[in-house]
Amino acid sequence: MFLSGLFRLSLSSLFCLSFAVSVSAEPTRECVARESGSTGSWWYEQQPIMGTQVQVELWHANQATACGLIAQVMAEMHRINQAMSPYIESSLLSRMNAGAAHQPVVVGKELFDLIALSLDWSERTQGAFDVTYASVGRYYDYRNNKKPASDEIADNIEGIDYRHISLNRADFSVKYLHDAVYVDLGGIAKGYAVDRGAQILRQAGITQAMVSAGGDSRIIGDRLGEPWVVGVRHPRKAGENVAVLPLIDASVSTSGDYERYFERDGVRYHHIIDPVTGDSAREVTSVTIIGADATTTDALSTSVFVMGIKRGLSLINGMTNIDAVIVGSDGRMYLSRSLLELSSAH
Ligand code: AMP
Ligand code: MG
């Protein structure tokens, strides 16, 4: 359980309330002190990386050390983006997508391991999490309100199947067993990058920090004796939260259908794709997962979004130290078992 004791006190009063909690201030590309005390300051920087806003905040007495560490975290995020972005033609991922249907492509240990982990999640989620979703998913263009044409779906739907990815650990190479396969790690790479950033800070001895990339955050320690407070935003009302989570030493990821979407004929087309249909998953509007590391919470938030309420909760309730807050398309909130127990105790 990663929620602090305060969660108990907060639950009955804060769940379901419209409550604006902001963990970020003005965007800044420079490392600045946001608050200072007698033993140090909260140092903060925000940068657009990986198609989202990356934020790092940590407590430290020394500006040069603090800002140097934040710069290292940002550099690591840029490095991962350069390797794993499908939008950068020279990225390792793009080279894999261009070649792996023809011959094995050597991708190196880091990308290999993340793909292997993604395949594990595919097994554990009965295929709901599937990085080959992009075989069809790549034909959505959310900025230009474009969904795949029916022939684009017909020609590529068979490419969606994680079992088409063949891994060879001997040389860290990847081969696609079907011509239509296209891989996108957008459902897990941000969480991975956040974990890597947090690891840099922990190894440097930082005991109080937060690293976040869009909907994926990792919290190290507390906030000077208090929990960090992370808001779960209302999927349909900007500026409102459906819950606030006081967290210590935890990760939290939210997947929502409001992040990248367009509407056509009253139907919302958004970026989380059901691998069975190649269409957006529509049983829920947001899923928040709380757990120990952000790679896990990121993969699970996307997975549970696809699985829906019943299957999603059953998966989460079968795991230890993982919790979920789901908002259904009926507007109701659904909690994992231990959160439910906490909330009914108040
Ligand atoms: P998140 O905001 O963490 O849920 O990530 C959403 C991203 O995950 C999308 O933008 C896609 O890149 C990717 N994605 C969409 N559907 C799936 C799926 N079924 N399995 C794995 N990744 C997916
Ligand atoms: Mg995710």
Instruction: Decide if pLDDT at 303 tops 90.
Output: yes
Segment 265-275 mean pLDDT: 96
Nearest CA to ligand 1 atom 22: 187
Query: How wide is the angle at C-alpha 281 spanned by C-alphas 280 and 287, nearest 5°?
Result: 125
Distance of CA 144 to the CA centre of its chain: 24
Query: How is residue 14 written in tokens?
Result: 């804060």
pLDDT band at residue 27 under the 50/70/90 scheme: low
From the CB of 273, is ligand 1 less than 6 Å away? yes
Segment 116-141 mean pLDDT: 98
Question: CA-CA distance, 248 to 261, in Å (whole number)?
Answer: 32
From the CB of 215, is ligand 1 less than 6 Å away? yes
> Residue 29 has what pLDDT?
73
Exposed e or buried b for every residue in 275-305, given b needs 16+ CB within 10 A?
Answer: beebbbbbbbbbbbbbbbbbbbbbbbbbbbb
| Entry field: residues in the chain | 346
pLDDT band at residue 343 under the 50/70/90 scheme: confident
Query: How wide is the angle at C-alpha 215 spanned by C-alphas 121 and 282, nearest 5°?
Result: 65
> What is the Å distance from ligand 1's center to 305 Cα?
9
From the CB of 191, is ligand 1 less than 6 Å away? no
- Identity of the amino acid at 280: S
> Residue 16 has what pLDDT?
36
Return the residue matching tokens 């108990």: 8
Query: How is residue 110 written in tokens?
Result: 């880091």
**pLDDT tens-place string over residues 233-243:** 999 999 999 99
**pLDDT tens-place string over residues 140-190:** 999 999 999 999 999 999 999 999 999 999 999 999 999 999 999 999 999
- Identity of the amino acid at 86: P
pLDDT band at residue 345 under the 50/70/90 scheme: confident
Q: Which of 19-28, 71-80, 335-344 is the most confident on average?
A: 71-80
Query: Among the atoms of ligand 1, which is closest to the Cα of residue 130?
Result: 20
> Residue 2 has what pLDDT?
63
Question: CA-CA distance, 302 to 120, in Å (whole number)?
Answer: 14
Residue 54 DSSP SS3: strand
Residue 277 DSSP SS3: coil
Distance of CA 71 to the CA centre of its chain: 22
pLDDT band at residue 139 under the 50/70/90 scheme: very high
> Residue 342 has what pLDDT?
85
pLDDT band at residue 24 under the 50/70/90 scheme: very low
pTM, to two decimals: 0.93
Query: How is residue 39 written in tokens?
Result: 């033993």
> Residue 28 has what pLDDT?
59
> CB of 36 within 8 A of CB of 48?
no
From the CB of 184, is ligand 1 less than 6 Å away? yes
Instruction: Decide if pLDDT at 14 tops 80.
Output: no
Residue 259 DSSP SS3: coil
- The residue to mutate among 138, 195, 272, having the most atoms of ligand 1 within 8 angstroms of its beta carbon, is 272
From the CB of 127, is ligand 1 less than 6 Å away? no
Question: CA-CA distance, 221 to 227, in Å (whole number)?
Answer: 8
> CB of 336 within 8 A of CB of 288?
no
CB atoms within 10 A of CB 38: 5
Segment 189-205 mean pLDDT: 98
Query: How is residue 44 written in tokens?
Result: 């903060």
**pLDDT tens-place string over residues 216-257:** 999 999 998 999 999 999 999 999 999 999 999 999 999 999
> Residue 19 has what pLDDT?
31
Query: How is residue 9 written in tokens?
Result: 């006190």
> Residue 259 has what pLDDT?
92
| β-bridge mates for residue 250, sequence order | 219
> Residue 72 has what pLDDT?
98
Residue 37 DSSP SS3: coil
> What is the Å distance from ligand 2's center to 67 Cα?
28
> Residue 18 has what pLDDT?
32
> Residue 26 has what pLDDT?
53
